Amino acid sequence: MVEVEPEYDIIRNYHDGTGHDVDGLIEVLKEINDEIDDKDFHVGVTYFLEDDLDEYIQDIWEMEIEPYLEEYFFDNRGAVDQFRWSNVEGRVSP
C-alpha cells in the first residue's frame, strides 16, 4: 500500500506564480488534518489550486470543506465549528 499525504508545498509552489499568500491556509489545513488524525481522510490540496483563489476560496470552503468536515465529524460538532468559514476566513484568505 502506498500512503499519500497532502503535499502542502504544491499549494505554495502553485501560488508562487499567482502572488497569493497561502501560509495561513496551509496552517489551517494542517490543523484540520491533525484533528482528523487519519491519513485516509485528510483534506487534500487540490481544492486550492485556483489562479483566482481570492475569488473562489469562500465557495470552496463552504461548499466543499465544511460539508466534508460535517460528514467526517458527524458526532463532534465542535470540531466542525472551529473550522467554519466564519472562524477561519481571516486566516485562510489569500
pLDDT tens-digit series, residues 16-70: 989 899 999 999 999 999 999 999 999 999 999 999 999 999 999 999 999 999 9
Residue 48 belongs to domain spanning: 8-92
Is 1 within a domain?
A: no
Give me 38's grid cell: 487519519
CA distances from 26 to 9, 20, 76, 82 (A): 9, 12, 23, 16
- Total domains in the fold of the chain: 1
Q: Which 3 state secondary structure label does DSSP give 6?
A: coil
Of the pLDDT bands very low, low, confident and very high (cuts 50, 70, 90), residue 2 is: low
Q: pTM of the full predicted structure?
A: 0.92
For residue range 66-83, what is the model confidence (pLDDT) as tens digits?
999 999 999 999 999 999
Q: How far apart are CA 57 and CA 74, in angstroms?
A: 23
Helix (H) or strand (E) holding 24: helix 23-36
